[in-house]
Amino acid sequence: MRKPIIAVTRPYERSKIAKDIVEELGGEALLVPTLELRHFNSSSLKKLNKEKNKLDWLIFTSPTSIEAIEEFYPDFKDNLNCKIAVIGKKTAEIAKKFNYNVDLIPEDYTAEGLLESFKEINLKNKLIGIPRTFSARDVLPQSLKDKGAEIILAEAYQSLIPRDVVRIELLIQKIMENEIDGIIFTSPLTVENLFKIAVNETELGAKLSVDVLTVAIGPITSKKLDNYNVKNIYPDNYTVRDMLELLFNKLE
């Protein structure tokens, strides 16, 4: 009996966990990143490093932001005297790996979930640092500003379409030829970049809706798929394991 083939679109450096889970659940993982992450020592990140001792809060929205800081400023956490919030279990794990003390992690692993956790915290005139990609949504920094906080938004990495798009083109071909059983998307950009490469967005969206089990990691990524009219599902807990377990349960 053929193993189900599951396409994993997340960046290579984040793919191993997904690959291991797919194989554990009895499938074959096809790793085709539609997103490339590049650490970037931007002027805004340099400013954050310079102003770090003035921070009241530091917010990590992804593991990549922590890894970028560690690459460019390995002494960043030395004498750091602010509270730290993270979005997501994996981000919390990476923060602890690099000896950051996490003070706040929301139950809902989204910007909206973090904002809900800040609901009862007075942020007026507080300085908050947010290292991230500038491709991310504006909801978090803007909502924190609305609560009276001052924000240092620092570009720690860039989220780009991979230089080599041949593998993405081959993935689209496999999807169109019914060679893919399921596909996972872990961020809105993994969706958007796939459709940017597609010759016919409408045909690809229809194929993903009808012949491929399409799974998003959570509601934000799901909404992006909705924009392309792709029928999709997402788990109650926004983790890679939960989305893959949901996928395999639906395939049975």
Q: What is the pLDDT of residues 148-158, one digit of tens each?
A: 999 999 999 99
Give pTM, 2 decimals. 0.84
Residue type, 30: L
Which one is predicted more confidently, 251 or 136? Answer: 251
Q: Tell whether 125 and 223 lie within a shared domain.
A: no
pLDDT at 136 over 90: no
Q: What pLDDT does 124 receive?
A: 96
Q: Tell whether 100 and 115 lie within a shared domain.
A: yes
Structural domain count of the chain: 2
Which CATH number is 89's domain given?
Answer: 3.40.50.10090
Burial of 209 (0-12, 13-18, 19+ CB in 10 A): middle
Lowest mean pLDDT: which of 108-122, 164-178, 231-245?
A: 108-122
Q: Cα(244)–Cα(252) distance, rounded to whole angstroms?
A: 13
In this prediction, what percent of the chain has a pLDDT beyond 90? 90
Residue 26: pLDDT band by 50, 70, 90 thresholds?
A: very high
Token couple for 181 = 């059983």
Mean pLDDT value of segment 219-228: 96
Residue 12: pLDDT band by 50, 70, 90 thresholds?
A: confident
Last residue of a domain, one of 159, 187, 202: 159
Q: Tell whether 234 and 186 lie within a shared domain.
A: yes
Last residue of a domain, one of 142, 159, 176: 159
Q: Tell whether 51 and 154 lie within a shared domain.
A: yes
Q: Tell whether 196 and 244 lie within a shared domain.
A: yes
User: Is the separation of the CB atoms in 131 and 154 below 8 Å?
Assistant: yes
Mean pLDDT value of segment 2-26: 94
Q: Cα(138)–Cα(159) distance, rounded to whole angstroms?
A: 15
Residue 14: pLDDT band by 50, 70, 90 thresholds?
A: confident
The two most distant CA atoms of the chain are separated, in Å, by: 62
Residue 1: pLDDT band by 50, 70, 90 thresholds?
A: confident
pLDDT at 203 over 90: yes
Q: Tell whether 92 and 199 lie within a shared domain.
A: no
- Domain of 237, in residue numbers: 5-35+164-251
pLDDT at 121 over 90: yes
Q: What pLDDT does 2 receive?
A: 85
Last residue of a domain, one of 135, 159, 183: 159
Q: What pLDDT does 164 receive?
A: 86
Q: Tell whether 170 and 245 lie within a shared domain.
A: yes
Instruction: Read off the pLDDT of residues 173-197 as tens digits, 9 standing for 90 and up.
Output: 999 999 999 999 999 999 999 999 9
Q: Tell whether 192 and 84 lie within a shared domain.
A: no
Q: Tell whether 10 and 43 lie within a shared domain.
A: no
Q: Tell whether 31 and 44 lie within a shared domain.
A: no
Mean model confidence pLDDT for the chain: 95
- The closest of 141, 131, 137, 21 to 72, measured between CA atoms, is 131
Instruction: Read off the pLDDT of residues 44-102 as tens digits, 9 standing for 90 and up.
Output: 999 999 999 999 999 999 999 999 999 999 999 998 999 999 998 889 999 999 999 99
CB atoms within 10 A of CB 120: 6
Q: Tell whether 56 and 123 lie within a shared domain.
A: yes
Residue type, 162: P
Q: Tell whether 148 and 172 lie within a shared domain.
A: no
Q: Cα(51)–Cα(67) distance, rounded to whole angstroms?
A: 19
